[in-house]
């Protein structure tokens, strides 16, 4: 069959991400003998024109990969649904069967089916979808099916302009495991990836890793959460090191629940010395509220153990959830102020509510949302124990004086995006989180010179 696969994500903050999910679908379809045209909309000047050109060739079906529902900004939410609708309409007008998948589609499949008129919305991994397609099953309505490998050996350059992505962030993604066995109150991950599956096929990923490491490109392990189970994670790192696959690895994301320093040893030996940690709060009250699997005691133990290693972390915080008060919020800010200068903090204010989560039930009970209300329009939970405007102002002032802190509001502002774009054009400067302090300094200088305030955009 002839097919068009569309990578529809155009988001550029915190940096443009290689559409690895769409690439896996394309690679698998191609392996099964389908003739694939890949439309990557990320950097396109006119994405709808690109799509129209591909549709002229009369494909048998179009499959859209839909990654993000919104920009996760509690203050200035931007939804990507209108853009998805516009590309879906272009396909439906031609009468071509339309399938939609990807992480955003997996979170709200029924609502996306209703909003787009797609023939099918598929919640799950690429492998299951391609098996169904090739097996001749009729693809209709919402299909939920988590079958699939964490990763397959893909030829990225066949499908996307890798150089363009690397000019922003010099890493390529890989996923070594699926799923997370924890159940944090707001988190969609257990529903996105199904039950935990750890890769036992590191051999088959060797070529992919060797090629990119050989080209001086970093590897981003995009597992959520990588070091759960801890024993498996240590072994995976050791296996990669034994295979001679040392390089510059980044781990998105890491849990502070570590029993000893073996994981740090294994990380250091492989070159995996940077990662993201989502502790969400520096207060035990809030960790309990979010149903996190650890408390500050474990976080402090983690901080003690990491001291002897050359490791850098991006700490992510979600402030303003159920039960948050000024006192608990300040504990997070105090924790951030104690971070070593190798580390950076990313702060989100307001917790995005998704169906299937504990937070959703709580929000229903507290009348934050109504039963049956669409959550495609971003809805966030803000603690009623806080004065929202006052806290927003406080966070805005607080981050101004801290170069190692990035708030979602600044990250999504036009001036930050403009800076990201300009720096990536210079070629030499990478815009990943490790450079947040430099970016903040540049932002301040540009603002002083009248070259842009942290105003926020309203469209994609």
Kindly tell me the burial class for residue 280, based on how many C-beta atoms sit within 10 Å of its own C-beta (0-12, 13-18, 19 or more).
Answer: buried
Taking the C-alpha atoms of residue 66 and residue 79, their distance in angstroms, rounded to an integer, is: 12
Q: Of these partners, ligand SF4, ligand B12, none, which one is at the site of residue 225 (CB under 5 to 8 Å by kind)?
A: ligand SF4
Query: SS3 of 368, please?
Result: coil
- Residue 331 or residue 357: which is nearer to ligand B12 going by CB? 357
Q: Of these partners, ligand SF4, ligand B12, none, which one is at the site of residue 423 (CB under 5 to 8 Å by kind)?
A: none
DSSP-derived letter for residue 323 is: T
In the shown chain, the binding pattern of residues 106 to 145 toward ligand SF4, with x for contact by CB under 6 A and - for none, equals: ----------------------------------------
- Residue 26 or residue 276: which is nearer to ligand SF4 going by CB? 276
Selected from 29, 36, 54, 69, the binder of ligand B12 by CB under 6 A is 69
Q: Is 184 in the site for ligand B12 (CB under 6 A)?
A: no
Least distance to ligand SF4 from the beta carbon of 250, Å? 17
- Residue 331 or residue 408: which is nearer to ligand B12 going by CB? 408
Least distance to ligand B12 from the beta carbon of 25, Å? 5
Q: Is 65 in the site for ligand B12 (CB under 6 A)?
A: yes
Give the H/E segment covering residue 317: strand 312-319
Contact 257, 265 (CB under 8 A): no
Cα radius of gyration rounded to whole Å, the chain = 22
Query: SS3 of 151, please?
Result: coil
Q: Is 71 in the site for ligand B12 (CB under 6 A)?
A: yes
Cite the DSSP H helix spans in 32-160: 47-55, 81-93, 103-107, 109-116, 126-134, 156-159
Contact 19, 9 (CB under 8 A): yes
Q: Is 182 in the site for ligand SF4 (CB under 6 A)?
A: yes
3-state secondary structure string, 18-37?
Answer: CCHHHHHHHHHHHHCCCEEE
- Residue 69 or residue 209: which is nearer to ligand B12 going by CB? 69
- Residue 211 or residue 262: which is nearer to ligand B12 going by CB? 211
**Taking contact as CB under 6 A, which single stretch among the options 50-58, 65-73, 241-249, 451-459 is the one that binds ligand B12?**
65-73
Q: Is 314 in the site for ligand SF4 (CB under 6 A)?
A: no
Of 275, 350, 291, nearest in space to 72 by CA: 350
3-state secondary structure string, 62-73?
Answer: EEEECCCCECCC
Q: Of these partners, ligand B12, ligand SF4, none, which one is at the site of residue 420 (CB under 5 to 8 Å by kind)?
A: none
Least distance to ligand B12 from the beta carbon of 356, Å? 11
Selected from 55, 87, 139, 184, the binder of ligand SF4 by CB under 6 A is 184
Least distance to ligand B12 from the beta carbon of 22, Å? 5
Contact 293, 255 (CB under 8 A): yes
Q: Is 318 in the site for ligand B12 (CB under 6 A)?
A: no
Of 356, 174, 347, nearest in space to 249 by CA: 174
Taking the C-alpha atoms of residue 9 and residue 69, their distance in angstroms, rounded to an integer, is: 10
Q: Is 99 in the site for ligand B12 (CB under 6 A)?
A: yes
Selected from 41, 84, 90, 107, the binder of ligand B12 by CB under 6 A is 107
**Taking contact as CB under 6 A, which single stretch among the options 31-39, 64-72, 208-216, 362-370 is the one that binds ligand B12?**
64-72
Q: Is 315 in the site for ligand SF4 (CB under 6 A)?
A: no
- Residue 10 or residue 262: which is nearer to ligand B12 going by CB? 10
Q: Which residue carries 């389908």 as its tokens?
A: 34
Residues 156-175 that bind ligand B12 (CB under 6 A): 171, 173, 175
Taking the C-alpha atoms of residue 297 and residue 300, their distance in angstroms, rounded to an integer, is: 5
Contact 100, 80 (CB under 8 A): no
Least distance to ligand SF4 from the beta carbon of 226, Å? 10
| 423-456 core/surface letters (b: 16 or more CB in 10 A; e: else) | bbeeeebbbbbeebbebbebbeebeeeeebebeb
Token pair for 159:
């499908």
Residues 228-257 that bind ligand B12 (CB under 6 A): 252
Strands 120-124 and 141-145: parallel
> Which residues, 6 or more positions from 425, have their beta carbon under 8 angstroms from its beta carbon?
167
Give the H/E segment covering residue 417: helix 414-426
- Residue 24 or residue 156: which is nearer to ligand B12 going by CB? 24
Q: Is 70 in the site for ligand B12 (CB under 6 A)?
A: yes
- Residue 280 or residue 331: which is nearer to ligand B12 going by CB? 280
Q: What are phi and psi of 265, to 5 degrees?
A: -60, -50
Least distance to ligand B12 from the beta carbon of 208, Å? 12
Q: Of these partners, ligand B12, ligand SF4, none, which one is at the site of residue 101 (CB under 5 to 8 Å by kind)?
A: ligand B12
Q: Which residue carries 């090739």 as its tokens?
A: 134
Contact residues for ligand SF4, defined by CB under 6 A? 180, 182-184, 187, 189-190, 224-225, 278
Contact residues for ligand B12, defined by CB under 6 A? 9, 11, 14, 16-17, 20-22, 24-25, 63, 65, 67-72, 99-104, 106-107, 122, 125-126, 129, 148, 171, 173, 175, 188-189, 192-193, 220, 222, 224, 252
């Amino acid at each position: 069959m002839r097919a068009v696969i569309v990578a529809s994500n155009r988001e550029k903050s915190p940096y443009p991400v290689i559409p690895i999910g769409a690439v896996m679908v394309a690679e698998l379809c191609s392996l099964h003998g389908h003739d694939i045209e890949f439309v990557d909309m990320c950097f396109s000047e006119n994405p709808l024109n690109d799509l129209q050109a591909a549709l002229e060739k009369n494909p048998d079906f179009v499959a859209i990969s839909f990654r993000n529902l919104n920009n996760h900004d509690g203050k200035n939410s931007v939804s990507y649904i209108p853009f998805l609708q516009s590309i879906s309409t272009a396909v439906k007008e031609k009468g071509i069967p339309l399938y939609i998948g990807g992480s955003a589609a997996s979170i709200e499949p029924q609502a996306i089916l209703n909003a787009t008129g797609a023939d099918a919305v598929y919640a799950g991994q690429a492998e299951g979808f391609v098996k169904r397609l090739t097996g001749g099953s009729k693809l209709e309505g919402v299909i939920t099916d988590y079958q699939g490998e964490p990763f397959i050996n893909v030829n990225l350059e066949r499908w996307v302009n890798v150089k363009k992505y690397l000019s922003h962030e010099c890493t390529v993604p890989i996923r070594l495991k699926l799923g997370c066995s924890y159940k944090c109150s707001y988190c969609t991950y257990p529903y996105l990836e199904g039950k935990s599956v750890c890769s036992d096929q590191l051999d088959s990923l060797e070529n992919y890793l060797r090629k990119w490491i050989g080209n001086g490109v970093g590897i981003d392990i995009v597992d959520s959460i990588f070091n759960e189970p801890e024993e498996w994670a240590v072994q995976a790192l050791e296996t990669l090191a034994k295979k001679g696959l040392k390089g510059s690895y980044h781990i998105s994301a890491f849990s502070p629940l570590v029993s000893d320093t073996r994981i740090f040893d294994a990380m250091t030996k492989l070159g995996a010395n940077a990662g993201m940690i989502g502790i969400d709060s520096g207060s035990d009250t809030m960790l309990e509220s979010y149903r996190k699997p650890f408390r500050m005691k474990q976080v402090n133990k983690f901080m003690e153990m990491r001291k002897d290693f050359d490791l850098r972390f991006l700490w992510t915080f979600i402030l303003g959830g159920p039960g948050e008060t000024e006192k608990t919020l300040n504990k997070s800010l105090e924790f951030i102020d104690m971070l070593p200068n190798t580390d950076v903090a990313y702060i989100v204010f307001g917790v995005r509510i998704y169906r299937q989560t504990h937070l959703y039930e709580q929000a229903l009970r507290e009348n934050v949302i109504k039963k049956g209300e669409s959550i495609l329009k971003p809805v966030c939970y803000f603690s009623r124990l806080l004065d929202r405007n006052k806290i927003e102002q406080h966070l805005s002032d607080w981050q101004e004086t801290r170069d190692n802190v990035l708030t979602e509001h600044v990250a999504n502002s036009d001036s930050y995006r403009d800076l990201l774009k300009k720096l990536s054009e210079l070629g030499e400067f990478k815009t990943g989180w490790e450079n947040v302090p430099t970016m903040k300094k540049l932002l301040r200088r540009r603002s002083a010179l009248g070259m842009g305030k942290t105003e926020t955009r309203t469209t994609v």
